[in-house]
């Protein structure tokens, strides 16, 4: 994958920033995207040579189209951008709250993936990595009495389904499409993550592993940051 090109959404902070850092260290050129151009440029200055800033708001069709027009060829897409609300059960959450989360975590992934598919089809080894969450596992949720973070968790369950659908749809074209459960990480996702999360770089290593899969690697899988299988 030397000299390959990757694009990471939400790369100005947290796990996305660490994914960009590790991909550059592996010899790739990385488009580090951010909604705010100034923050994106600041992150690129820190990440250094091999990264390029690219403004991209995954909830804005015009921003997505403009970004895609600047990337004619692409090998790896990491759908990392994600948001979360407070720890609310579905009976306490509003429809607007669900809609706000889904705009980024679900609809944004579809819009960005579809916009960059023409560029990915130029690659001999196209890879898509969706940053999901083990809290989106329906199997694990069925064994738990917890119903908090309903908007976030259900959005990740939807993202997992999309991962399977894209994997099946694009398999004949050589794509590897997988989802990663990064574990609770020290990021600005929510108060729990900020207070109790682990090192984002550890999760990023799992994403990079999926981004650099060989041609005989898995597709349509849901893997934890440590490489173990997560039940759907």
Of 31, 152, 166, 209, the active-site residue reads 152
- Domains of the chain are 5-224 (3.40.50.720)
In sign, the C-alpha dihedral spanning 88, 89, 92, 93 is: positive
Write down the pTM of the prediction.
Answer: 0.94
Task: Tell me how far apart the alpha carbons of residues 196 and 14 are, in angstroms, rounded to a whole number.
Answer: 14
Active site residue 156: yes
Active site residue 152: yes
Residue whose tokens read 């997505």:
64
Task: Return per-residue pLDDT of the chain as tens, 232 residues.
Answer: 668 999 999 999 999 999 999 999 999 999 999 999 999 999 999 998 999 999 999 999 999 999 999 999 999 999 999 999 888 999 999 999 999 999 999 999 999 999 999 999 999 999 999 999 999 999 999 987 678 999 999 999 999 999 999 999 999 999 999 999 997 665 766 666 666 666 888 989 999 999 999 999 999 999 999 999 999 9
For residue 99, what pLDDT is reported?
98
Sheet strand arrangement including 127-131: 51-55, 29-34, 5-8, 76-79, 127-131, 176-181, 222-224
Query: In the chain, which ranges are continuous DSSP H helix?
Result: 14-25, 37-47, 61-69, 95-102, 108-120, 138-142, 150-170, 191-196, 200-211
Of 31, 102, 156, 209, the active-site residue reads 156
Task: Tell me how far apart the alpha carbons of residues 64 and 199 are, in angstroms, rounded to a whole number.
Answer: 30
Whether residue 1 contacts residue 125, with contact meaning beta carbons closer than 8 Å, is answered with yes
């Amino acid at each position: 994958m030397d000299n390959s090109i990757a694009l990471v959404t939400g790369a100005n902070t947290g796990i996305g920033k660490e994914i960009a850092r590790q991909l550059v260290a592996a010899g790739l050129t990385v488009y580090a995207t951010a909604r705010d151009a100034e923050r994106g440029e600041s992150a690129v200055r820190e990440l250094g040579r091999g990264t390029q800033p690219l403004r991209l708001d995954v909830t804005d069709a015009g921003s997505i189209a403009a970004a895609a027009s600047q990337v004619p060829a692409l090998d790896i897409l990491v759908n990392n951008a994600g948001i979360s609300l407070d720890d609310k059960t579905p009976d306490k959450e509003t429809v607007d709250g669900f809609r706000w989360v889904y705009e980024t975590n679900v609809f944004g992934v579809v819009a960005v993936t579809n916009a960059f598919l023409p560029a990915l089809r130029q690659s001999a080894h196209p890879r898509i990595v969706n940053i999901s969450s083990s809290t989106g596992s329906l199997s694990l949720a069925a064994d738990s009495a917890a119903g908090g973070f309903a908007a976030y968790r259900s959005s990740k369950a939807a993202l997992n389904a999309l991962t399977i659908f894209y994997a099946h749809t694009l398999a004949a074209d050589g794509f590897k499409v997988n989802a990663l459960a990064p574990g609770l990480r020290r990021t600005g996702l929510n108060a729990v993550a900020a207070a109790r999360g682990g090192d984002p770089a550890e999760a990023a290593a799992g994403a990079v592993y999926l981004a650099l899969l060989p041609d005989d690697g898995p597709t349509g899988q849901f893997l934890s940051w440590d490489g173990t299988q997560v039940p759907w």
